[in-house]
Amino acid sequence: MIKDLSALEKKLGAVFNNKDFLRQSLVHRSYINENPKFSLGHNERLEFLGDAVLELVVTEYLFVKYPNSPEGDMTNFRASLVNANKLSEIAGEIGLEPFLYLSKGESKDKHSKARQYILANALEAVIGAIYLDQGKDAVERFIKERILTKIDYIIQHKLYLDPKSRFQEMAQEKAGVTPNYKVHKEEGPDHAKIFSIGVYLGNELVVEGKGSSKQEAQIEAAEKALKVKRWEE
């Protein structure tokens, strides 16, 4: 099935000379597994290129814009912009999802972590495609308009810190206490455990998080706690 990508080109602000670059950036491996005779390969090579281009453009921008920021802060700023959560969110804003080439199974699985990674990887592949087809200036413009515009909000709200660090800062500022985490439950076999961990302010249980490791469960608990307390609004 060949999709009309002209609407996506408008969203991206780029009319491709070679439409196959853009089309291939949207092809997930699962689609090729189901459609081995499709004229193009999957998008993983373009994703590899786009990841490198994105990191370079973001790094150079941060280096110039924040001349007094130490390396550690700039690393955190960059990570907050190029992680899977943020990239999949931006892919959603662009409207990338309807144009993806996915297997029938992947097409149905719309709200999973896997879909989030597919969208993030596709956005990186699109960046690689823009770079190959349109050149360095065009890809820099796209990244600045679509991704780097998020940095001021991220820094203002300290979103470059991990959720546990943000919740700890907020808890100390708003409630005068340091959060503590307690394991409520461990389920499943050793190779596939699920941890349930509560985050507390003093004796108050704020919320519970789950994850395949204690660290993952604590991070989920902290993310939920920030929303429950509405401290970042």
The one-letter code for the residue type at 222 is A
| Terminal Cα distance for the chain, rounded | 44
The predicted-structure confidence for 175-188, as pLDDT tens digits, reads as follows 999 999 999 999 98
Please say if the pLDDT value at position 1 is more than 70: no
The C-alpha angle 101, 103, 108, rounded to 5 degrees, equals: 100
Q: What is the model's pLDDT at position 111?
A: 67
Mean pLDDT for the stretch of residues 213-224? 91
Q: Are 214 and 196 in contact (CB under 8 A)?
A: no
Q: Are 206 and 229 in contact (CB under 8 A)?
A: yes
The predicted-structure confidence for 42-99, as pLDDT tens digits, reads as follows 999 999 999 999 999 999 999 999 999 999 889 989 998 998 889 999 999 999 999 9
Positions annotated as catalytic residues are 51, 124
CATH, range 6-156: 1.10.1520.10
Structural domain boundaries of the chain?
Answer: 6-156, 163-229
Extract the tokens encoding 89. 């969110």
Query: Which strands make up the sheet holding 204-211, listed edge to edge?
Result: 180-187, 194-201, 204-211
What top-level class would CATH report for the domain 163-229? Answer: alpha beta
Q: Are 51 and 59 in contact (CB under 8 A)?
A: no
The one-letter code for the residue type at 45 is R
- Which DSSP helix (H) or strand (E) runs through 195? strand 194-201
The predicted-structure confidence for 154-171, as pLDDT tens digits, reads as follows 988 888 888 898 899 899
User: Can you tell me which residue has the tokens 């990841």?
Assistant: 51
Q: Are 99 and 1 in contact (CB under 8 A)?
A: no
What mean pLDDT value characterizes the chain? 92
